[in-house]
Amino acid sequence: MRIDIITCLPKLLESFFAHSILKRAADKGLVEVYVHDLREFSTHKQRQTDDYAFGGGAGMVMMIEPIDNCISKLKAERDYNNIIYMTPDGENFSQRVANKLSLSGNIIILCGHYKGVDERVREQFITMEISIGDYVLSGGELAAAVVSDAIIRLIPGVLSDETSALTDSFQDDLLAPPVYTRPAEYKGWKVPDILLSGHEAEINKWRMEQSLKRTKIRRPGLID
């Protein structure tokens, strides 16, 4: 899988992808992430990428030309499954969307800034718009990092224990059950006996009950 991220703040994203699971996924050749500096695609004197809004009002708008230059160059090199625009008025991101996107070959993620992009960018180039929640961030970069992380960890081979993504919260519309590790007793606080019993079927049954109970209490909306 290949992810091309277009941003005015490349440094912010480069440090994110240079660490942890995402770095290991790239080192193993399971994903390639390229961060493109939008300024390099500007033909203006000061490598300008935004301008005042037609009709007036506060806030700058990202110009179509540098975005067109960058996206068109990438599209000439390979096909993309989706060209995603990160925006608070996009579709809500969820595990379901992450699962679907993790099956992509190549995607482009465009990070918005200021008052957003010229509407013609959305009409002409964008195939999908994603929001990560009902709050406003200063830019789409952190949101792009969130979406990339959720997608990349689903690619087979990225997690060391391949089954562990399957038991995540949300993977089957249930929250994950509680987990414990050694010691079995700490300051008198005990691990549930069932987990020490060695009865795999009973343990799985307990975990499912705990998942259901936790989901009903914390996120009842997930059950229907």
Positions 97 through 126 that interact with ligand 6GU (CB under 6 A): 112
Residue 87 interacting with ligand 6GU (CB under 6 A) = yes
Which contiguous run of DSSP H or E holds residue 35?
Answer: strand 32-37
From the CB of 133, what's the least distance to ligand 6GU, in Å? 5
**Comparison of 33 and 174: residue with beta carbon closer to ligand 6GU:** 33
From the CB of 93, what's the least distance to ligand 6GU, in Å? 8
Binding residue for ligand 6GU (CB under 6 A) from 5, 13, 132, 145? Answer: 132
What residue ranges in 93-223 does DSSP mark as E strands? 106-111, 128-131, 185-186, 189-190
Taking residue 193's Cβ as centre, other Cβ atoms within 10 Å add up to 9
DSSP-derived secondary structure for 58-98 = SSEEE-HHHHHHHHHHHHHHS--SEEEEEEEEEEEP-HHHH
Taking residue 197's Cβ as centre, other Cβ atoms within 10 Å add up to 11
| List of residues 6+ apart from 73 with CB closer than 8 A | 41
**Comparison of 67 and 174: residue with beta carbon closer to ligand 6GU:** 67
Binding residue for ligand 6GU (CB under 6 A) from 139, 171, 176, 212? Answer: 139
Residue 169 interacting with ligand 6GU (CB under 6 A) = no
Residue 140 interacting with ligand 6GU (CB under 6 A) = yes
Angle of CA points 218, 150, 6, to nearest 5°: 135
Binding residue for ligand 6GU (CB under 6 A) from 9, 53, 128, 137? Answer: 137
From the CB of 89, what's the least distance to ligand 6GU, in Å? 9
Binding pattern to ligand 6GU, positions 13-52, x when CB under 6 A? ----------------------------------------
The whole-angstrom separation of Cα 83 and Cα 148 is 13
Which residues contribute to the site for ligand 6GU (CB under 6 A)?
A: 86-88, 112, 130-133, 135-137, 139-140, 143
